[in-house]
Amino acid sequence: MGVALPSVHGPHVPQHPQPQPEKLHWRLGTSTNRCTRERVISHTCECRTVLFELRAAGGVYYIRRTDRTSDPVGLAFLARAVWETEGYLHRRALEVWDRLLVGLAV
């Protein structure tokens, strides 16, 4: 019996959300940090063209969505491929993140 290797994949956002998902408010973002203390808490799998990141910026949390299909030259914000949610408090951010990962929020 072999030991299962840890997956190199992060979580995948479902291709098709659940019926009537919560609609998050996405605003056009930039691919730069909002503040110097910004960090990525969690992110979805790199194998997908659309990457979601749960980010913290000075005590405020938000989700960034980057569509790399429309970012051939690494200037995603110019291609309108980077979108961000509003800022959340920690508990709400984790809730939104969990809902996103199971297709209950889009």
Q: Closest distance between Zn ion and the C-beta of residue 8, in Å?
A: 8
Residue 60's contacts (CB-CB under 8 Å, 6 or more residues apart) are: 34, 87, 88, 89
* Contact status: 50 vs Zn ion (CB under 5 A): no
| Cβ atoms of residues 91 and 98 within 8 Å | no
Minimum distance of Zn ion from residue 49's CB (angstroms): 11
Identity of residue 82:
V
DSSP state of 8: S
Residues 9-48 that bind Zn ion (CB under 5 A): 9, 45, 47
Nearer to Zn ion, 47 or 102 (CB): 47
Smallest gap from Cβ 81 to Zn ion, in A, equals 19
Residue 104 DSSP symbol: S
* Binding residues vs Zn ion (CB under 5 A): 9, 45, 47
